[in-house]
Structure 1
């Protein structure tokens, strides 16, 4: 095997590592320093040894980062990593598929076709400068241009994630492994057309609701407003109650995930609606789903359902209580190790937001805070499941809630006003907090994205709830994923054009092949919305 060094995001190897107040960069640098690796790593790179850095592995090459004041970088490249401009109308983190502006010619040109897209997820970036110019291989536009990859000799590093960039990313990795001894090529190849800027594409996400059926097998299911069983079967015999219908089975999780990857899904989300009832870390089938999916699906994977702290059932004699307590951070770490890139938090996020609002301050103990502190806010998605509470008029809205006017009479008595009540436990229990306030509170706690569902629209195929989506999108500065209600490609263009969300998610229409992912993306491209087309197809300019 060829000798080299790949340096990217790594998960802590032990749950006992003291990281409560450390970012991942601090932790990584602490390990390098305490184990005496810093100077050998610097010497290794300066000696032009093979090195491929990903995300943090690129930022570490610079002198410093605003993300971690006082923590020095390797100093191989002059400059400081800085956060995105908070005054610009940008959602941060920068999450999604974006393009590359080639600054010099290497054999990577043969791996990255013109206008092809790669996957980014970050809040800090390297700003172009005369000092960094000799290293800059590509730039990418998000507000302004930033350095998205660097290269000199046998050293290559990317801000984007090739391992999550589908076939494009795999070609980049293969090209480096096969050609790192000599990456330079003739600058007159003419493959790349000069363009002024790139555009981040809108994401189309496939969601798989996963649960155990009555036989104990994990299946992908879907129902209208969270009812995932087929119609009940009438009971036989006088006085016998009807038998519950079987769990609706729309396919096997790994097979469907692979299908959606092949069809061009930008991300795939697994929502375990069984919620790990037998114990989070004992749910080996779901862990195996993630492990097997990550071996053949090279786009980001999100897992949700039961990402929370819990007490392990006692296994001692006599049924004594007091099994081991697992923190939400330890649970999330197990799923990251199984292949998840993000975790989605639902009911616990509502509870944490309510507690923060009541206290008037953060405690640092919620699942959102723990996981975002350790892994970065881009690793935390908060799933919000509100339902409409209809009002005769805005004046009837309870204090502290946001009254919203609907586009048409929708309530049982023709009401055109409502507020959106947050729910927990899969939409079964309402809470005294509205979706708009909840989204803002979750952002403050450390969420990196909002997955916004609507109980009233789920499974209806009449389109996304534009009133709800628009209100939440305006309340936060992190990306928002619209969910619930899609029934045709036009619903996707409608939600992108009328709300400005960064992504839209669907489930049942994709599972049943009522709408194909490719049909959605081609429609978006036809109406001028930037989107990544599947595999070999070119992306937006």
Structure 2
């Protein structure tokens, strides 16, 4: 069977190729218009802007061959933007027409009652019998699938797309189309290659379907709740791996308190080694982590493009880890040791092609925010955030916020930052009951005259799609997340927020979700040292009524 990948230069297609290979199939890349006639099945993944996908198809000469392929009712699977391109157009780029294979328009989510992008694990619910595939087993297990998008096709019973809608998903007060099927054309708004074993089952079903199945067997999707019950976006539990070279040049996962990753001098002073990066990513996938974050804390001192060991870690991890991978460290404009300039977009692109789904930007985001305020709130398009978000979408850009507390006796004592002063849970060293959060760069070693809330507001305006909020003072304490900081950031932005630093037990995760309404919570050392298990965290969340994805152990 000839399975072809329609790759127009999207972001992370390596994970899809790896997922198909994991299921025992090879996939070739379409390289000419003639390949459409050779294909038995085509998979069209998409990441980022609607216009980038549509225009790229046109420039490659693939638009008409694809239309002919679809008109012939040949097996096709569209994913995310690969699904959106099937429709007539999108609010994201109104000037660009879609393929028009399916009726309807793609529209942006409202952020009035929720964060945008819609990012994380959500369920699907099937439509009434007359509007879904005959024979779907509605008694099957409930599964969650991974979504990451700001635009979707709205669903109502009288919408043009209703006749081809297989499943819908709810987000806030909106219901959107999460799966469509017309004949042997099938498409999902979610990413099956990033949806764990539930997503692998979907891909396997597509790959094994025969013509007699009319494209897809009835067991393709595990149904969600009954139609009357709305789906819910779950809270994410993220495992974070701080990766750096040890004194022998080997990459290891390490952890320290407030960035100090070496043991005491009397114990040898060597870099703490808590495991091998690839081995730990596999372990956390199997233990039910909803995402995995790899942070290169040596920040690629030469060039990320020349850091082959770290790129190899990413490539190998993506071979058998089918949840989202974020990578951070050195995402900025830079110059190679040989004088070759590299743009932040070029750096990010190689990560995406190596298996990353998102990139995390730290210190460079602080400098971009300072430039944003210095220009009177102008977006110049030159920052790393803007460079990457423009083609790949805001959901691909995470900004890591790493502030320290500056304690003051009163809000007025904070000067220019008095509007963003809060009352922390712990008083200052001299009994101060107020503080503001000062942004840092260079691994927390250099402070800037910018507070965390200012940074959050600026990077959201520049196009960041998610914030990873880490209080340096709380790191390694085991006292729980910094609620005062997180509430301050949550109130300032409408994009997803990830809590980091300070988790010491499973209850800390429940507390931060209930008190701060963050979208995800992250931990590192307590998972590495097996002090707290991911399964224990999820059990605690379930007991406390926090929506959480239940990990599935096998295909």
TM-score w.r.t. length of structure 1: 0.90
Residues 229-259 of structure 1, C-alpha deviations (whole Å, 9 max, x = no match): 000038xxxxxxxxx6000000000000000
Which residue is 1:319 aligned to?
A: none
1:357 to 369, 373, 376: 373
Q: What is the RMSD computed on CA atoms of the aligned residues?
A: 2.4
SS of the residue aligned with 1:133? helix
Q: Partners in 1 of 2:51 and 2:238 — Cα distance?
A: 32
Residues 203-226 of structure 1, C-alpha deviations (whole Å, 9 max, x = no match): 000000000000000000000111
Contact kept in structure 2, 1:450 and 1:480, CA below 8 Å: yes
Query: Which stretch of the first structure deviates more once superposed, 123-132 or 404-413?
Result: 404-413
Which residue is 2:529 aligned to?
A: 512
Distance 1:111-1:494 versus aligned 2 partners, 3 A rule: same
Which residue is 1:240 aligned to?
A: none
2:179 to 143, 149, 157: 149
Alignment of 1:430-509 (within 5 A): 430-509=447-526
Contact kept in structure 2, 1:105 and 1:184, CA below 8 Å: no
Which residue is 2:361 aligned to?
A: 345
Which residue is 1:313 aligned to?
A: 337
SS of the residue aligned with 1:220? strand
Contact kept in structure 2, 1:264 and 1:535, CA below 8 Å: yes
Contact kept in structure 2, 1:7 and 1:53, CA below 8 Å: no
SS of the residue aligned with 1:120? strand
Distance 1:36-1:43 versus aligned 2 partners, 3 A rule: same
Which residue is 2:232 aligned to?
A: 199
Q: Partners in 1 of 2:210 and 2:7 — Cα distance?
A: 15
SS of the residue aligned with 2:289? coil
Which residue is 2:340 aligned to?
A: 324
Deviation, structure 1 residue 456: 0.5
Distance 1:136-1:266 versus aligned 2 partners, 3 A rule: same
Deviation, structure 1 residue 418: 0.4
Q: Partners in 1 of 2:194 and 2:139 — Cα distance?
A: 14
Q: Partners in 2 of 1:207 and 1:429 — Cα distance?
A: 23
Alignment of 1:130-279 (within 5 A): 130=158, 131-143=160-172, 144-179=174-209, 181=211, 182=213, 183=216, 185=218, 193-233=226-266, 245-279=269-303
Aligned length: 510
SS of the residue aligned with 1:138? strand
Whether 1:286 aligns to 2:310 is yes
Q: Partners in 1 of 2:244 and 2:175 — Cα distance?
A: 43
Deviation, structure 1 residue 382: 0.1
Which residue is 1:238 aligned to?
A: none
Deviation, structure 1 residue 308: 1.2
1:66 to 78, 88, 91: 91
Q: Partners in 1 of 2:426 and 2:74 — Cα distance?
A: 67
Whether 1:117 aligns to 2:177 is no
Q: Partners in 2 of 1:325 and 1:31 — Cα distance?
A: 26
SS of the residue aligned with 2:103? strand
Deviation, structure 1 residue 106: 4.1
TM-score w.r.t. length of structure 2: 0.88
Deviation, structure 1 residue 36: 3.1
SS of the residue aligned with 2:238? strand
Residues 139-198 of structure 1, C-alpha deviations (whole Å, 9 max, x = no match): 000022100010122111000000000000000000111115213559xx9997444210
Which residue is 2:73 aligned to?
A: 48
Distance 1:289-1:349 versus aligned 2 partners, 3 A rule: same
Distance 1:270-1:191 versus aligned 2 partners, 3 A rule: closer
Q: Partners in 2 of 1:59 and 1:112 — Cα distance?
A: 29
Q: Partners in 2 of 1:307 and 1:401 — Cα distance?
A: 31
Structure with bigger helix share is 2
SS of the residue aligned with 1:303? strand
Distance 1:184-1:252 versus aligned 2 partners, 3 A rule: closer
Distance 1:505-1:494 versus aligned 2 partners, 3 A rule: same
1:530 to 547, 550, 555: 547
SS of the residue aligned with 1:422? strand
Contact kept in structure 2, 1:265 and 1:517, CA below 8 Å: yes
Distance 1:202-1:107 versus aligned 2 partners, 3 A rule: farther
Which residue is 1:18 aligned to?
A: none
Contact kept in structure 1, 2:50 and 2:84, CA below 8 Å: no
Deviation, structure 1 residue 26: 2.1
